[in-house]
A and B are shown apart, each in its own frame.
Chain A
Amino acid sequence: MHNNKKPLLIASAAVLAASMATGASAATLDSVKEKGFVQCGVSTGLPGFSAPDDAGNWQGLDVDVCRGVAAAVLGDASKVRYVPLTAKERFTALQSGEIDVLSRNTTWTATRDTSLGLNFAGVNYYDGQGFMVSKDLGVASAKELDGAAVCIQSGTTTELNLADYFRLNDMSFEPVVFDTSDQTVKGFEAGRCDVLTSDQSQLYALRIKLSDPASAMVLPEVISKEPLGPVVRQGDDQWFNIVKWTLFAQINAEEMGLSSDNIEEKKSDTNPNVARLVGADGNYGEAMGLPADWAYQVIKQVGNYGQMFERNVGTGSALGIERGLNALWTDGGVQYAPPVR
């Protein structure tokens, strides 16, 4: 009986092998155009960066990166499907092609950039790791945290920085590791740990989630560099360029004073920099496989970098974070984009 099945078995194995060989390297741009939407990996809920609002729409700085890409590629910022991922799942989801862009407050590190088959397409938020403690604890500095129990999210650079910091300062700690940032907040609230550590921006975001935000404070120390940015698969340079230049276009737009409010009138501006960016002069989208007005669509529908920042995490939002390092280079920050020309 099973003799008859053998040719079938071999044939199916061959098909399987063939399909595995081709599945990976198809151009992301083509598949996105074909699908009609961008698949975007986001967090499981981090206010200001990626979290669903009351109506169930995803909002945040990281979400806006994906919306920007959708506007550039498909001409419609709403054509994004969001895939919420834990820190542990995120890279595998991108590697396996489940998502097209990972925009999930992910720190750019050497290991991740070089050994995971991924590329970081820029930095949309310059962050650093900090500590949040309960005010009752009576601690004013991270140097006083010897012996503390610390809640951390699993699979993050935070886990590593924390160990380095405590070892350098000759202190001990008890790591309490959870899968999602929600769980770390619950653990912190229940008193399972004295300290909640994460990137500072996240601490402000998570503090809002506490039942009594005023009871907790963020310590002044920043113990690491955490450049956060969107990530794409390695080996598809076209898609890499698209994501990278979408972000650059938004930063350039802020520098030139272009925003979603005034882009309509500035479209016919005589400034050659503006003309090149909005596609009135030359066609800088063509080389990336995009229409000439790609940057115009991004700015029109999503806004420039400054608008994106203010809306989601800036002083106008619930998080109330200052621009700081994330100000443009012309304003004393480090956000700087190469010119479009």
Chain B
Amino acid sequence: MTQPASRPPATVKPPFWRDPAKRALIFQLLMLAGVFGVLAIIVSNTLTNLESRGITTGFAFLDNTAGFGILQSLIDYSEQSTYGDTFIVGLLNTLLISALGVIAATVIGFVMGVARLSPNWLISRLAAVYIEVFRNIPLLLQIFFWYFAVLRTLPSPRGSLSLGEAFFLNVRGLFVPAPITSSGFSVVIAVFVLAVVASGIFSYWNRQRQARTGQRLPAGWISLGLIIVAPLLAYFAMGMPLSWELPELKGFNFRGGITVVPEFLALWVALSVYTAAFIAEIVRSGIEAVPHGQTEASRALSLSGGMTLRLVVVPQALRVIIPPLTSQYLNLIKNSSLATAIGYPDLVSVFAGTTLNQTGQAIEVIAMTMLVYLTISLLVSMFMNWFNARMALVER
């Protein structure tokens, strides 16, 4: 009997370059060092070159007085504010147009998406025309259209279109009454907040009750009533502590009230209408992705039409809708930088435009601007991914 030649392998460790795990680690480290090395070279090279050409660098300019005016500002801004303030003003204007754009685009998009699927021939055709027209014209042209072709043809301040002597529309923008709150209005707000909290608790209780007993109250209507009626009662109880400041024609233009500049209107309408056309198609695809059998099964369980939509179709459609919807939101936010074409004072127009030019610090300003867009987009992505995870199919 001969022993088989096989013996337990010698416990000699192979040299580290033969060990795949260690080798991989080494290459990873080398790669990392390479990337950082290149970055360091680029940064130091840029700094050296800027210095040799006598171009000032650094972020000290942010504390200097800006000395120029900005059309629209959400914070208290004057010509004596700093360049750092112009950054904040631009950022807030970008966030404002993005947020309002996302809201409007979502509403229009959902309505159009559902209308596109309507059994009514006229409605579905109209929705289709809307989608095909606005989806297929470049956004910049649409912005120009709303700004130059629509809003520029409005009358001058003296010939304003007015609605009840409170709302005025002219080539300088839309003028609406501004609410003026007096003492006691904070009570109304407090009551409103309380009503919102109370209706939240009520719906929770209602759900628990339904799970326990199968009975449910019309929570939606009750909450809505609570949220509207309670603050109204408080409002009258406090002696109506709210008045309106009407815009008034004084000198060259209207003063008082709230001014919505035409640059904002044009950009808002263009961004919303353009993005909504894409969202409508996404909504349509989402709804069509839910098999018809689901609706039939739901009907077989004797759920009403509304409940079928709310409990069966929409939750499943959302799974298809959310990921591409996120992309549309991100597009809208980034597209808002086209503001600079019509002079709406967003981040690109104010900070990466005027501030960059007055200070000449191109690298710092552009880096900050890019970082802002990256941060906003990543935050929106993060939120939408979280929302998507919540909506995703939970396998049981």
Contacts and interface: CB of A to CB of B under 8 A. Distances in A.
Interface of A: 2-3, 6, 9-10, 13, 16-17, 20-21, 24-25, 87-88, 91-92, 95, 111-112, 115-117, 137, 145-149, 154-156, 159-160, 162-164, 166-167, 173-179, 183, 186-187, 190-192, 194, 233-235
A174 B251 CA distance: 13
Given A117-B53, A174-B172, 9 more contacts: A13-B41, A88-B357, A117-B54, A160-B67, A160-B358, A176-B343, A177-B349, A190-B153, A190-B171
Contacts of A167: 78-80
A187 B263 CA distance: 11
B70 A88 contact: no
Interface stretch (B4-12, B44-52, B317-325): B44-52
10 tightest A-B CB contacts, nearest first: A155-B357, A117-B55, A175-B69, A163-B79, A117-B53, A115-B56, A116-B360, A117-B54, A159-B68, A190-B152
Contacts of B251: 146-148
Nearest to B360: A116
B16 interface: no
A97 B51 CA distance: 16
Contacts of B345: 177
Q: Is the interface of B mostly helix, strand, loop or mixed?
A: helix
Given A21-B49, A117-B55, A154 B354 contact: yes
Interface stretch (B31-39, B134-142, B269-277): B31-39
B59 to A, nearest CB: 14
Interface string B130-164: 00000000000000000010001100100000000
A143 to B, nearest CB: 13
B396 interface: no
A125 B201 CA distance: 73
Given A149-B172, A175-B71, A194-B252, A183 B55 contact: no
A95 B42 contact: no
11 contacts: A6-B30, A116-B55, A116-B360, A117-B55, A154-B343, A154-B357, A155-B354, A174-B253, A191-B172, A192-B262, A235-B54
A125 B239 CA distance: 66
Given A111-B358, A155-B357, A17 B42 contact: yes
A13 B30 contact: no
A179 B356 CA distance: 13
A4 to B, nearest CB: 11
Nearest to A109: B358
A175 B344 CA distance: 11
Contacts of A163: 67-69, 79
Among B53, B56, B80, chain A packs the most CB atoms within 10 A around the CB of B53
Given A147-B251, A163-B79, A190-B171, A88 B54 contact: no
Contact of A177 (B148, B343, B358): B343
Contacts of B359: 111, 115
Interface in B340-386: 340-341, 343, 345, 349, 353-354, 356-360, 362
